[in-house]
Amino acid sequence: MNVSFLITNAEWRRCTCQRAVHDGLRALGHRVKVDRPAMGPGRADEDFDCAFIWNGIHSNRGEAIRAFRAAGKPAFIMEWGFFDRMRQAQIDSVGFNHTASWAGTLREPAPQAGRSRFEAVWGGPPTPMAARDKGYVLLLLQVPTDSQLRDSEIHHPGPMVDAVEDAMPGSIPLRVRPHPVSPWNCGTRRRGQPRHAQMLIGGSLVDAVAGARFCLTINSNAGNEALVMGCPVLCLGPALYAMAGAAMRTTLSGLPLAIRHMLDGWHPVHVLVENYLHHLACHQYGIDELRMGAPLREIMA
Protein backbone atom coordinates (compact mmCIF):
# COMPACT_ATOMS: atom_id res chain seq x y z
CA MET A 1 0.00 0.00 0.00
CA ASN A 2 0.98 3.62 -0.52
CA VAL A 3 0.84 5.29 2.91
CA SER A 4 0.79 9.01 3.64
CA PHE A 5 2.55 9.57 6.97
CA LEU A 6 1.69 13.02 8.30
CA ILE A 7 3.91 14.38 11.07
CA THR A 8 5.52 17.72 11.94
CA ASN A 9 9.27 18.19 11.67
CA ALA A 10 9.54 18.68 15.44
CA GLU A 11 7.64 15.46 16.16
CA TRP A 12 9.79 13.51 13.73
CA ARG A 13 12.96 14.72 15.48
CA ARG A 14 11.90 14.06 19.07
CA CYS A 15 9.30 11.28 19.09
CA THR A 16 10.59 7.71 18.92
CA CYS A 17 7.10 6.18 18.75
CA GLN A 18 6.22 7.94 15.51
CA ARG A 19 9.42 6.82 13.84
CA ALA A 20 8.79 3.27 15.05
CA VAL A 21 5.37 3.28 13.34
CA HIS A 22 6.99 4.57 10.15
CA ASP A 23 9.64 1.84 10.30
CA GLY A 24 7.02 -0.83 11.03
CA LEU A 25 4.98 0.16 7.99
CA ARG A 26 8.06 -0.15 5.81
CA ALA A 27 8.93 -3.49 7.42
CA LEU A 28 5.52 -4.75 6.29
CA GLY A 29 6.37 -3.76 2.72
CA HIS A 30 4.29 -0.57 2.46
CA ARG A 31 5.57 2.47 0.58
CA VAL A 32 5.58 5.33 3.07
CA LYS A 33 5.80 9.02 2.21
CA VAL A 34 6.49 11.33 5.14
CA ASP A 35 4.80 14.70 4.82
CA ARG A 36 4.06 17.73 6.98
CA PRO A 37 0.41 18.46 7.90
CA ALA A 38 0.87 22.08 6.87
CA MET A 39 1.48 21.03 3.27
CA GLY A 40 -2.19 20.32 2.60
CA PRO A 41 -5.40 18.58 3.69
CA GLY A 42 -4.05 15.06 3.47
CA ARG A 43 -3.27 14.76 -0.24
CA ALA A 44 -6.11 12.25 -0.48
CA ASP A 45 -6.45 12.99 -4.17
CA GLU A 46 -2.98 11.56 -4.83
CA ASP A 47 -2.06 7.92 -5.14
CA PHE A 48 -2.31 7.06 -1.44
CA ASP A 49 -4.28 4.13 -0.07
CA CYS A 50 -4.38 5.31 3.55
CA ALA A 51 -2.88 7.77 6.01
CA PHE A 52 -1.27 7.62 9.44
CA ILE A 53 -1.72 10.89 11.31
CA TRP A 54 -0.51 11.92 14.76
CA ASN A 55 -3.36 13.34 16.84
CA GLY A 56 -4.40 16.91 16.13
CA ILE A 57 -8.00 16.38 15.06
CA HIS A 58 -8.93 20.03 15.61
CA SER A 59 -6.04 21.36 13.51
CA ASN A 60 -5.07 20.97 9.87
CA ARG A 61 -4.58 17.30 10.67
CA GLY A 62 -8.31 17.05 11.15
CA GLU A 63 -8.71 18.34 7.61
CA ALA A 64 -6.39 15.56 6.44
CA ILE A 65 -8.42 12.93 8.29
CA ARG A 66 -11.68 14.19 6.78
CA ALA A 67 -10.16 14.39 3.28
CA PHE A 68 -8.97 10.80 3.36
CA ARG A 69 -12.22 9.47 4.76
CA ALA A 70 -14.28 11.47 2.28
CA ALA A 71 -12.27 9.76 -0.45
CA GLY A 72 -13.15 6.38 1.07
CA LYS A 73 -9.62 5.81 2.36
CA PRO A 74 -8.68 4.87 5.95
CA ALA A 75 -7.04 7.46 8.19
CA PHE A 76 -5.38 5.93 11.26
CA ILE A 77 -4.98 8.23 14.25
CA MET A 78 -1.91 7.83 16.45
CA GLU A 79 -1.70 9.11 20.04
CA TRP A 80 0.44 8.56 23.14
CA GLY A 81 -0.08 5.33 25.09
CA PHE A 82 -1.78 5.13 28.46
CA PHE A 83 1.02 4.11 30.83
CA ASP A 84 4.55 4.43 29.41
CA ARG A 85 3.59 7.56 27.50
CA MET A 86 6.82 8.23 25.61
CA ARG A 87 7.53 4.64 24.60
CA GLN A 88 4.05 3.43 23.65
CA ALA A 89 1.33 4.55 21.27
CA GLN A 90 -2.33 3.88 20.62
CA ILE A 91 -3.46 3.66 16.99
CA ASP A 92 -7.01 3.40 15.74
CA SER A 93 -8.98 3.70 12.51
CA VAL A 94 -11.71 5.83 14.15
CA GLY A 95 -10.33 7.93 17.00
CA PHE A 96 -8.40 7.83 20.25
CA ASN A 97 -9.26 7.42 23.93
CA HIS A 98 -13.05 7.63 24.40
CA THR A 99 -13.62 8.02 20.63
CA ALA A 100 -11.68 4.87 19.64
CA SER A 101 -13.41 2.10 17.72
CA TRP A 102 -13.00 -0.32 20.67
CA ALA A 103 -14.36 2.04 23.37
CA GLY A 104 -17.73 0.26 23.34
CA THR A 105 -16.16 -3.10 24.28
CA LEU A 106 -14.90 -2.12 27.73
CA ARG A 107 -17.71 -3.90 29.62
CA GLU A 108 -16.80 -7.14 27.87
CA PRO A 109 -14.04 -9.42 29.19
CA ALA A 110 -10.62 -8.16 28.15
CA PRO A 111 -8.50 -10.30 25.81
CA GLN A 112 -6.48 -13.00 27.58
CA ALA A 113 -3.24 -11.23 26.78
CA GLY A 114 -4.40 -8.15 28.69
CA ARG A 115 -3.11 -9.20 32.09
CA SER A 116 0.41 -10.06 30.95
CA ARG A 117 0.63 -6.97 28.72
CA PHE A 118 -0.46 -4.70 31.56
CA GLU A 119 1.88 -6.22 34.13
CA ALA A 120 4.78 -6.09 31.67
CA VAL A 121 4.51 -2.33 31.26
CA TRP A 122 3.44 -1.46 34.82
CA GLY A 123 5.69 -3.94 36.59
CA GLY A 124 2.96 -5.83 38.44
CA PRO A 125 -0.78 -5.96 39.15
CA PRO A 126 -2.79 -2.89 40.19
CA THR A 127 -3.32 -2.06 43.85
CA PRO A 128 -6.67 -3.46 45.06
CA MET A 129 -9.41 -0.82 44.90
CA ALA A 130 -11.00 0.26 48.19
CA ALA A 131 -12.67 3.29 49.76
CA ARG A 132 -10.39 5.88 51.35
CA ASP A 133 -11.67 7.82 54.36
CA LYS A 134 -8.74 10.20 54.94
CA GLY A 135 -6.80 12.78 53.00
CA TYR A 136 -7.54 15.55 50.52
CA VAL A 137 -9.47 15.59 47.26
CA LEU A 138 -6.93 15.67 44.44
CA LEU A 139 -7.92 17.68 41.37
CA LEU A 140 -5.92 16.62 38.30
CA LEU A 141 -5.75 19.32 35.63
CA GLN A 142 -5.13 18.95 31.92
CA VAL A 143 -3.45 20.92 29.16
CA PRO A 144 -5.95 23.62 28.05
CA THR A 145 -5.54 22.57 24.39
CA ASP A 146 -6.33 18.90 25.08
CA SER A 147 -8.55 17.62 22.26
CA GLN A 148 -10.73 15.64 24.68
CA LEU A 149 -11.79 18.78 26.54
CA ARG A 150 -13.96 19.78 23.60
CA ASP A 151 -16.38 17.01 24.51
CA SER A 152 -16.74 18.16 28.12
CA GLU A 153 -18.64 20.95 29.89
CA ILE A 154 -15.41 22.66 31.02
CA HIS A 155 -12.59 23.42 28.61
CA HIS A 156 -10.00 25.15 30.80
CA PRO A 157 -8.25 24.58 34.16
CA GLY A 158 -9.45 27.87 35.73
CA PRO A 159 -13.20 27.20 35.51
CA MET A 160 -12.53 23.61 36.57
CA VAL A 161 -10.92 24.70 39.84
CA ASP A 162 -13.71 27.25 40.45
CA ALA A 163 -16.42 24.63 39.92
CA VAL A 164 -14.79 22.08 42.21
CA GLU A 165 -14.04 24.65 44.92
CA ASP A 166 -17.67 25.76 44.94
CA ALA A 167 -18.98 22.18 45.09
CA MET A 168 -16.67 20.97 47.86
CA PRO A 169 -17.63 20.84 51.56
CA GLY A 170 -15.61 23.50 53.36
CA SER A 171 -14.21 20.99 55.83
CA ILE A 172 -12.48 18.86 53.17
CA PRO A 173 -9.07 20.01 51.88
CA LEU A 174 -8.60 20.39 48.12
CA ARG A 175 -5.26 19.97 46.38
CA VAL A 176 -4.70 20.94 42.75
CA ARG A 177 -2.07 19.27 40.60
CA PRO A 178 -1.39 21.10 37.32
CA HIS A 179 -0.42 19.13 34.24
CA PRO A 180 3.40 18.70 34.16
CA VAL A 181 3.72 20.45 30.79
CA SER A 182 1.17 23.17 31.57
CA PRO A 183 2.17 24.96 34.81
CA TRP A 184 -0.63 26.89 36.44
CA ASN A 185 -0.63 28.81 39.71
CA CYS A 186 -4.41 28.87 40.30
CA GLY A 187 -4.63 32.64 39.63
CA THR A 188 -7.41 34.55 41.34
CA ARG A 189 -11.11 34.12 41.89
CA ARG A 190 -13.63 36.10 39.89
CA ARG A 191 -13.74 38.77 42.63
CA GLY A 192 -10.01 39.18 42.54
CA GLN A 193 -9.25 37.39 45.81
CA PRO A 194 -5.95 35.49 45.63
CA ARG A 195 -5.99 31.73 45.70
CA HIS A 196 -4.48 29.97 48.69
CA ALA A 197 -1.00 28.73 47.87
CA GLN A 198 -1.58 25.49 49.78
CA MET A 199 -4.05 24.34 47.12
CA LEU A 200 -1.19 23.54 44.74
CA ILE A 201 0.60 20.24 45.16
CA GLY A 202 3.88 19.39 43.50
CA GLY A 203 6.07 16.32 43.48
CA SER A 204 5.30 13.06 41.78
CA LEU A 205 1.85 11.85 40.81
CA VAL A 206 2.47 8.76 42.95
CA ASP A 207 3.00 10.87 46.07
CA ALA A 208 0.02 13.11 45.28
CA VAL A 209 -2.33 10.15 44.81
CA ALA A 210 -1.03 8.44 47.95
CA GLY A 211 -2.49 11.20 50.12
CA ALA A 212 -5.82 11.53 48.28
CA ARG A 213 -9.26 10.27 49.31
CA PHE A 214 -10.15 10.30 45.62
CA CYS A 215 -9.06 11.99 42.41
CA LEU A 216 -11.24 14.37 40.42
CA THR A 217 -10.56 15.23 36.78
CA ILE A 218 -12.27 15.85 33.48
CA ASN A 219 -10.81 12.89 31.61
CA SER A 220 -7.06 13.09 32.22
CA ASN A 221 -4.83 10.11 31.48
CA ALA A 222 -3.54 10.57 35.03
CA GLY A 223 -6.86 9.05 36.11
CA ASN A 224 -5.65 5.73 34.68
CA GLU A 225 -2.60 5.80 36.93
CA ALA A 226 -4.75 6.75 39.92
CA LEU A 227 -6.88 3.66 39.31
CA VAL A 228 -3.76 1.49 39.06
CA MET A 229 -2.72 2.85 42.46
CA GLY A 230 -6.07 1.90 43.98
CA CYS A 231 -7.50 5.42 44.18
CA PRO A 232 -11.15 6.06 43.18
CA VAL A 233 -11.74 8.56 40.36
CA LEU A 234 -14.58 11.02 39.66
CA CYS A 235 -14.66 12.58 36.18
CA LEU A 236 -16.64 15.35 34.50
CA GLY A 237 -16.07 14.49 30.87
CA PRO A 238 -16.48 11.47 28.61
CA ALA A 239 -13.68 9.10 29.57
CA LEU A 240 -12.83 5.48 28.95
CA TYR A 241 -12.72 4.63 32.65
CA ALA A 242 -16.24 5.90 33.17
CA MET A 243 -17.46 3.95 30.14
CA ALA A 244 -15.89 0.84 31.69
CA GLY A 245 -17.53 1.34 35.08
CA ALA A 246 -14.09 1.87 36.64
CA ALA A 247 -14.82 5.50 37.61
CA MET A 248 -17.86 7.64 38.44
CA ARG A 249 -18.92 10.28 35.93
CA THR A 250 -20.86 13.43 36.83
CA THR A 251 -22.05 16.68 35.32
CA LEU A 252 -21.43 20.20 36.56
CA SER A 253 -24.92 20.39 38.06
CA GLY A 254 -24.47 17.02 39.75
CA LEU A 255 -20.96 17.73 41.02
CA PRO A 256 -21.83 18.51 44.70
CA LEU A 257 -23.83 15.28 45.07
CA ALA A 258 -21.19 13.24 43.25
CA ILE A 259 -18.47 14.60 45.54
CA ARG A 260 -20.62 13.64 48.53
CA HIS A 261 -20.98 10.08 47.17
CA MET A 262 -17.21 9.85 46.76
CA LEU A 263 -16.60 11.16 50.30
CA ASP A 264 -19.10 8.60 51.58
CA GLY A 265 -16.88 5.86 50.19
CA TRP A 266 -17.98 5.15 46.63
CA HIS A 267 -15.40 3.14 44.71
CA PRO A 268 -15.57 0.81 41.71
CA VAL A 269 -15.55 -2.95 41.98
CA HIS A 270 -11.91 -3.99 41.63
CA VAL A 271 -12.63 -6.60 38.95
CA LEU A 272 -14.01 -3.82 36.72
CA VAL A 273 -10.85 -1.79 37.23
CA GLU A 274 -8.64 -4.76 36.35
CA ASN A 275 -10.68 -5.61 33.29
CA TYR A 276 -10.49 -2.00 32.13
CA LEU A 277 -6.72 -1.81 32.60
CA HIS A 278 -6.25 -5.05 30.69
CA HIS A 279 -8.29 -3.62 27.81
CA LEU A 280 -6.05 -0.55 27.74
CA ALA A 281 -2.92 -2.68 27.69
CA CYS A 282 -4.19 -4.49 24.59
CA HIS A 283 -4.65 -1.20 22.75
CA GLN A 284 -1.25 0.36 23.22
CA TYR A 285 1.90 -0.77 21.51
CA GLY A 286 5.57 -0.50 22.43
CA ILE A 287 8.35 0.82 20.26
CA ASP A 288 9.90 -2.57 19.56
CA GLU A 289 6.67 -4.27 18.46
CA LEU A 290 5.75 -1.24 16.34
CA ARG A 291 9.09 -1.44 14.53
CA MET A 292 8.40 -5.11 13.77
CA GLY A 293 5.02 -4.16 12.32
CA ALA A 294 2.85 -6.93 13.82
CA PRO A 295 0.29 -4.66 15.56
CA LEU A 296 0.11 -2.48 12.45
CA ARG A 297 -0.85 -5.48 10.36
CA GLU A 298 -3.79 -6.21 12.70
CA ILE A 299 -4.87 -2.56 12.86
CA MET A 300 -4.89 -2.24 9.06
CA ALA A 301 -6.65 -5.56 8.44
Q: What is the pLDDT of residues 27-84, one digit of tens each?
A: 999 999 988 776 555 456 578 999 999 887 667 778 888 889 999 999 999 999 999 8
Query: Does a structural domain hold residue 54?
Result: yes
CA distance 173 to 196: 11
Same domain, 157 and 48: no
Distance CA 176, CA 164 (A): 10
Report if residue 129 sits inside a domain. Answer: no
- Judge if 44 and 89 occupy the same domain: yes
Q: Look up the domain containing 179 and give its range.
A: 136-280
Q: What is the domain-level CATH number for residue 218? A: 3.40.50.2000
pLDDT confidence of 191, banded at 50, 70, 90? Answer: very low
The whole-angstrom separation of Cα 297 and Cα 301 is 6
Return the CATH number at 96.
3.40.50.2300
Please say whether the dihedral angle defined by the alpha carbons of residues 185, 188, 189 and 194, taken in this order, is positive or negative: positive
Return d(Cα 267, Cα 280) in angstroms, integer: 20
pLDDT at 39: 59
Query: How many Å apart are CA 48 and CA 3, to the nearest integer?
Result: 6
In-domain check, residue 234: yes
Select the more confidently predicted residue: 23 or 37: 23
Q: Residue 263 — very low, low, confident or very high, per pLDDT cuts 50/70/90?
A: very high
What pTM value is reported for the model? 0.90
Please report whether residue 207 resides in a domain.
Answer: yes
- Residue range 154-183: mean pLDDT, rounded: 85
The answer to whether residue 117 sits within a structural domain is no
Query: Nearest 5°: CA angle at 197, between 195 and 203?
Result: 135
CA 183 to chain centre: 18
Pair (148, 243) in one structural domain: yes
